Amino acid sequence: MSETDPQTAYDRLHERAERVGGLETIDNLLFWDQQVMMPAGGTPGRSMQRGLVSSLQHEALVGDDVAGWLDAVAEADLDEDQQAVVREVRRDHERKAAVPRELEERRNGVISEANAAWEEARENDEWETFAPYLEELVELTRTQAEHIDPNAEPFDVILGEYEPYLDVENVEAVFEDLKETLVPLIDDIRASDADPGGVFEANGPYDEETQMALSEDALSFVGCDWDRARLDTSPHPFSYGNRHDMRITTRFHKASIIGGLSSSLHEYGHASYEHGLDEAAFPDPLGQSRSHGIHESQSRFWENHVGRTEAFWVEFLPEVQSQFSQLSAVTPREAYEAANRVNEENFIRVEADEVTYHLHVLIRFEIERDLVNGDLDVEDVPQVWNDKYEDYLGIRPETDSDGCLQDIHWSIGRIGSFQGYTLGTVFAAQLTNALEEDLGESVESLVADRRFDDLREWMGEHVHLHGKRYPTDELVEVATGEPLTAEYFLDYVTEKYEALYEL
């Protein structure tokens, strides 16, 4: 058959999409190894390897053959799934083809070097060590945006890398709704005489080896498929992999077990999403996760709507106490309250409570937008970061390690991705509401009965199995019956914390 025959052209596009998806899984594994297992001197070799994979992905997407196949299928009679595959390949092709290959290769080379520089800078509290790499990455990111759409706001273009089919206006609307409710709620909490307590901090320290065992027990408790996952530590928690092989990482703090447990459950949520993707479609677009925000909805669901429930602590506290005997007198209620305590002095986003968390994200969103749009110089980031923390949260970091060097995202090139954490949190609450209406039971009661399979199956049916079948905004409506809204999260967080702080 001719390459211009619509069915043949579609078959070729589908094969190419699978190739690109497979290369992505290779890069994910290379990145995980760099963070967890690779010796310190391996950076130059890893830079070459990841650059080669990126080059192969670029070639697979931007060739004239792909453009020809896309033209050939434009008027083809395709079913809905085939149309979705073509839509996603076309979008990726157009964005990739707009960016010169040399620019992409240079960017990936800088990323490999920047990650090692970030680790050194964070350890030594030296912004100057990382700043030159960030400056180059920001410039390359801005140039990338200009190639894709020279008439659009650069940050809006880059946001599309992580949140396809959403734009800055969507994100700003969510943040405005959150600020309107969360800022006064935080003020009320600060003024409250109630204190949910800190029983975990009071009974520390906790050794990391036992905390690792506890995190493994927690993931086993909620039903982690260890045949397709493993848990390690890294400087900043993350999860990479594919539906057959998820690499979960976490980190621990001696002062409390909450940070490590929450991080592990959060990253397990990412793994559950990948594990739930359609095996028959993997690794084409219908077997891939939809977006950063949708991914975060799964991690925030397991971290907060499961791991921060009182039912979770009723059921799991005995295992905690078997690992740490100093907690033998702690009650489930005390553990629940401690797990949900609002820490007004916390500087670290991944350790933030549900209420203050989104101001951490908002600060990063605003800084990234100004960086990419050319309204902020890299050398001024520490000052602006600290000023925003003082303005929004009433605290000021004393070190850059606790401030602008705390996140791994910039060093791995994920500039423009932070808003996904808030979008995911909002969507997680919306999904929780839809799940409870559909099943006729609360998540709290399902956790109390240890029916974690029911939670996974519902998420699988309504989110995971769709892959990239729908644009992001459509997936939200398909899963919940209505557009993305902050209403359910704001109702949830207000009711929960007004009760905890007796407001």
Which residues are identified as catalytic? 267
Nearest alpha carbon to residue 273 among 293, 292, 289:
289
Length of the chain: 503
In this structure, what are the phi and psi dihedrals at residue 390, rounded to the nearest 5 degrees? -70, -40
How far apart are the C-alpha atoms of 185 and 194, rounded to whole Å?
14
- For residue 131, what is the enclosing H or E element? helix 127-148
How far apart are the C-alpha atoms of 333 and 315, rounded to whole Å?
11
Residue 482 half-sphere exposure, CB side, CA atoms within 13 Å? 11
Q: Is 484 helix (H, G, I), strand (E, B) or coil?
A: coil
Nearest alpha carbon to residue 32 among 197, 191, 217, 245:
245
In this structure, what are the phi and psi dihedrals at residue 250, rounded to the nearest 5 degrees? -145, 180
Going through 213-327 in order, the beta strands assigned E by DSSP cover: 229-233, 239-242, 245-250
Are 174 and 423 in contact, with CB atoms under 8 Å apart? Answer: yes
- 229-233 and 245-250: which strand pairing? parallel
Q: Locate 249 and state its tokens.
A: 């990482």
CB count within 10 Å of CB 173 equals 13
Question: Where do runs of H (alpha helix) occur along 149-167?
Answer: 154-162
- 239-242 and 229-233: which strand pairing? unpaired
Nearest alpha carbon to residue 267 among 244, 242, 250, 253:
250
- CA distance readout (Å), 462 to 36, 277, 454, 467: 33, 11, 12, 10
Identity of residue 440: G
In this structure, what are the phi and psi dihedrals at residue 280, rounded to the nearest 5 degrees? -65, -30
How far apart are the C-alpha atoms of 295 and 273, rounded to whole Å?
7
How far apart are the C-alpha atoms of 464 and 276, rounded to whole Å?
5
| Largest CA-CA distance found in the chain, in angstroms, rounded | 76
In sequence order, what DSSP letters do the residues of 312-361 get, joined into one string? HHHHHHHHHHHH-GGGTT--HHHHHHHHT---TT---GGG--TTTHHHHH
